[in-house]
Amino acid sequence: MNKSMLIAAAQSKIEPDIIFKNANVVNVFSGKTERCDVAVYNGVIAGLGEYSGKNEIDLNGKYLMPSFIDAHCHIESSLVSPVEYAKLVIPKGVTAVIADPHEIANVKGEEGLSFMMKSAEGLPLDVHYMLPSCVPATPFDSSGAVIDSKLTKELMQKHGFLGLGEMMDFVSVLNSSDEVLAKIECADIIDGHAPYISGKELCAYACADIKTDHECTIPQEASEKAARGMYVQIREGTSAKNLEALLPAVNEYNFDRFLFCTDDKHLDDILEEGTISHCIDKAISLGLDPVKAIRMASLNAAQCYGLPHTGAIAPGYFADIVISEDLNATKITEVYKRGVLVAKNDKALFLTPSDTDGNVTDTVHINPVKPEDFKIEFNSNIPVIEVMPDTLVTKSVLRKTCEQLEMCACLERHKGTGNIGKAFVTGFGIKNGAVAQTIGHDNHNITVLGTSAEDMALAVNSLGKDGGIAVVIDGKLEAEMPLPIAGLMSDKPYEEAVKEYIAIKNAVKKLVPDSKIDTLMMLSFLSLCVIPEIRVSDKGLFSVTDMKFIE
């Protein structure tokens, strides 16, 4: 940044590159909007006031606001590569994301991380990668790679990660595990993942210099974490939707401790409603002051993660700008990155390279399965997994019979061990078929759900070496979506990928016509052994509450 030239442009001694005239500027510092011009020089905001020049853009009272930051996301959950993800989110106003690539890291380790970083190069999207802290998520899991404290230090020095990704193994933090503390020492910025932690345990977790949490589900939990100096990332994703529940925790004293994030959101939902713009709109509809909502979507996140010159319309800040016809950010007309127009009328205007990397393909290593591999004997003393709408939390329940229960299984797919963990589940409401996928947080083994062992076997066998999603109805393959990039992401343009995914969703609707649960997203979390209360891994049924397998 040439400061002398910028100073000159601010004083109208030299002509700015762009002047946005007659803008209603959203000022996240004053909490108000102000009608003025905004001058931009060399990709940086030079000044606000009255300016003139050759390149004037008359906004006629449209709102000019800082572009948005997704404070915590997993790009892999969009089902497309970083290149295609950028084309999805930038037209919706997002020009920066704090991304944790622990999905692909659990499959391919450093090779997967390198792919994600290379894929994001040259994009008008600032992808700030956090180094995954839990690969695997817990010591009980079977992953395709292991990142221990020694490798954590090496990768942090080698690749320049912004910080350490979400520390899900909160039990090891509270027990002062040498291995976990050694990882924490490698970074200054550390993301958290601490559902239900409170009181002295919360104090202990914060003492480990863990900065954020995105797992709050009730306002009391969010209020306590904010009061203990943490940043609370209000999550509004495909399955976990916490904004409405948590917004009562936000007040005039603590709102600077709250950020917006998506965590996991599928590409069709991103296309339909956006990511952070959707959070802004929903928060405003629930009564939050619009400028506060926009600040939570921009400056708060920038301050949390130490991103300089980012998150505001003010002198010396990058000209990362959203122009919208309304304060709700639902009618975005243009998006600028460093003063360059990168999206207009919901269309990306930038060129992107193709994603080709043989190091992250052919990642499914299992032998063909048979129906008898999924047979499970019912026992009324063994807990059943109950799933519920709008939350990733499950309940451990007992049932007297297996009537109206579904079967689920988790198959190890990285090392060819042949491990298959099985359980009964209730709440999905699936009928006459099965769905299988290589998306199984966070180790991404195969998860399958069904009503018959025969359909489950067909669904799993249909995934092949590429992996992906397969839906079987009445003994026939109804739909499939290959995900050749680590079994997690399509290698196709998002326009083609979304058509395949919609076909998958339509097939799932036939299986589960009346469910209030996002079947695919919830199925992908059945194997994540860090979210209460009960999960299924490739080694069997697991109690998260007790952190042990159920015999």
Q: Which of 449, 389, 386, 392 is nearest to 422 (CA)?
A: 449
46 close to 39: Cβ distance less than 8 angstroms: yes
Residue-level pLDDT at 297: 98
**DSSP class of residue 490?**
B
Backbone angles phi, psi at 300, to 5 degrees: -60, -45
**DSSP class of residue 375?**
-
Across the range 490-502, mean pLDDT stands at 96
Residue with tokens 């069997």: 540
Q: Which of 436, 408, 434, 433 is nearest to 422 (CA)?
A: 408
The domain spans of the chain are 73-273, 361-549
Residue-level pLDDT at 208: 97
Q: How many CA atoms lie within 13 A of 202 on its CB side?
A: 18
What would the pLDDT profile of 361-378 be if each residue is shown by its tens digit? 999 999 999 999 999 999
Q: Residue 448, exposed/middle/buried by CB under 10 A (0-12, 13-18, 19+)?
A: buried
Residue-level pLDDT at 352: 78
Q: Which of 28, 14, 74, 120 is nearest to 357 (CA)?
A: 120
Backbone angles phi, psi at 523, to 5 degrees: -60, -35
415 close to 142: Cβ distance less than 8 angstroms: yes
Give the whole-angstrom CA distance, residue 44 versus residue 35: 19
What would the pLDDT profile of 401-460 be if each residue is shown by its tens digit? 999 999 999 999 999 999 999 999 999 999 899 999 999 999 999 999 999 999 999 999
H/E stretch holding 435 reads: strand 433-437
CA distances in angstroms from 503 to 31, 430, 486, 499, listed in the order given: 44, 17, 21, 6
The band of 279, judged by pLDDT with boundaries at 50, 70 and 90, is: very high
Q: In what order do the strands lie in the sheet with 258-261?
A: 212-213, 231-235, 258-261
Q: How far is CA 332 from the centre of its chain?
A: 22
Query: Does the global pTM surpass 0.75?
Result: yes
Assigned token pair, 251: 């007040």
Query: Percent of the chain having pLDDT more than 70?
Result: 99
Give the whole-angstrom CA distance, residue 459 versus residue 450: 9
Strands 340-344 and 347-348 come out as antiparallel
SS3 141: coil
Give the whole-angstrom CA distance, residue 373 versus residue 25: 62
82 close to 123: Cβ distance less than 8 angstroms: yes
Across the range 530-542, mean pLDDT stands at 93
Give the whole-angstrom CA distance, residue 468 versus residue 363: 11
Q: Say which residues have a Cβ less than 8 Å from residue 399's Cβ, sequence separation at least 6.
A: 380, 384, 405, 424, 426
Assigned token pair, 85: 């993800």
Is the pLDDT assigned to residue 42 strictly greater than 80? yes
Beta bridge partners of 408: 423, 449
Is the pLDDT assigned to residue 353 strictly greater than 80? no
Characterize 462-479 residue by residue with b for buried, 16 or more Cβ atoms within 10 angstroms of its Cβ, and e for exposed. bbeebbbbbbbbeeeebb
Across the range 82-90, mean pLDDT stands at 97
44 close to 309: Cβ distance less than 8 angstroms: yes
What would the pLDDT profile of 322-336 be if each residue is shown by its tens digit? 999 999 999 999 999
Residue with tokens 């009537």: 403
Helix axes 102-119, 149-159, angle to 10 degrees: 20
The band of 1, judged by pLDDT with boundaries at 50, 70 and 90, is: low
**Long-range contacts (CB closer than 8 Å, 24 or more residues apart) made by 218-222:** 218/245, 218/246, 219/245, 219/246, 219/247, 219/248, 219/249, 220/249, 221/196, 222/246, 222/249, 222/258
- DSSP code string of 172-210: HHHTT-HHHHHHHTT-S-EEE--TT--HHHHHHHHHTT-
| Domain 73-273 part of CATH 1.10.150.120 | no
**DSSP class of residue 134?**
-
144 close to 106: Cβ distance less than 8 angstroms: yes
Q: Would you mind telling me the total number of residues written for the chain in this entry? A: 551
Give the whole-angstrom CA distance, residue 525 versus residue 394: 10
The band of 354, judged by pLDDT with boundaries at 50, 70 and 90, is: low
What mean pLDDT value characterizes the chain? 95
Q: Which of 441, 430, 424, 401 is nearest to 531 (CA)?
A: 441
Residue-level pLDDT at 392: 85
Residue-level pLDDT at 355: 61
What would the pLDDT profile of 191-213 be if each residue is shown by its tens digit? 999 999 999 999 999 999 999 99
The band of 127, judged by pLDDT with boundaries at 50, 70 and 90, is: very high
What would the pLDDT profile of 101-114 be if each residue is shown by its tens digit? 999 999 999 999 99
Across the range 502-512, mean pLDDT stands at 95
Q: How far is CA 93 from the centre of its chain?
A: 16
Residue-level pLDDT at 391: 83
Task: Centre a 10 Å sphere on the Cβ of residue 515 and count the other Cβ atoms it contains.
Answer: 17
318 close to 126: Cβ distance less than 8 angstroms: no
What would the pLDDT profile of 304-319 be if each residue is shown by its tens digit? 999 999 999 999 999 9
Give the whole-angstrom CA distance, residue 92 versus residue 69: 11
What would the pLDDT profile of 149-185 be if each residue is shown by its tens digit? 999 999 999 998 999 999 988 889 999 999 999 999 9
530 close to 537: Cβ distance less than 8 angstroms: no
Assigned token pair, 273: 């409603």
Q: Residue 514, exposed/middle/buried by CB under 10 A (0-12, 13-18, 19+)?
A: exposed
Across the range 69-77, mean pLDDT stands at 97
Give the whole-angstrom CA distance, residue 294 versus residue 66: 8
Assigned token pair, 20: 């946005």
CA distances in angstroms from 248 to 147, 219, 239, 392, listed in the order given: 38, 6, 21, 21
